[in-house]
Amino acid sequence: MRNLEEVQSGFITSAEISRQEQEEYMREHEDKFFVATYNNSFVGYIGVIEDDIRFCVHPSCQGKGVGTFLLMNILKYFPNAEGRVKKSNFASIKCFNNSGVPYTLIDD
């Protein structure tokens, strides 16, 4: 999902990564990420690296509460985590506001 064009603008750092690079990254950090599924389909993920929250929801599931759900539950596992959100990423800002998880706005 990291390489989907529809979500690229929401990431603080945008970069196209290969499937191999993604697999290596996830193997290294697998204990820090959770995925969300619905009807046996992957709809989103959330993780925390060095207390920095990283999450993404598949475009077909955005606006349905998936991101808010992920954020509301992540602090159970990483209580010191916070988000960093681009000022133009209104969907993520809404999720953070709805969940009550702390975040900092980052210039685009």
pLDDT surpasses 70 at 62: yes
Q: What's the token pair of residue 75?
A: 């602090």
Residue, of 4 and 69, whose pLDDT is higher: 69
Round to the nearest angstrom and report the end-to-end CA distance of the chain. 21
Domains and CATH numbers, the chain: 5-106 (3.40.630.30)
Assign residue 35 a region (left: φ > 0; alpha: ψ between -120 and 50; beta: otherwise): beta
Closest CA to 96 of 51, 34, 54, 44: 54
The reply to whether the predicted model has a pTM over 0.85 is: no
pLDDT band, residue 19 (cuts 50/70/90): confident
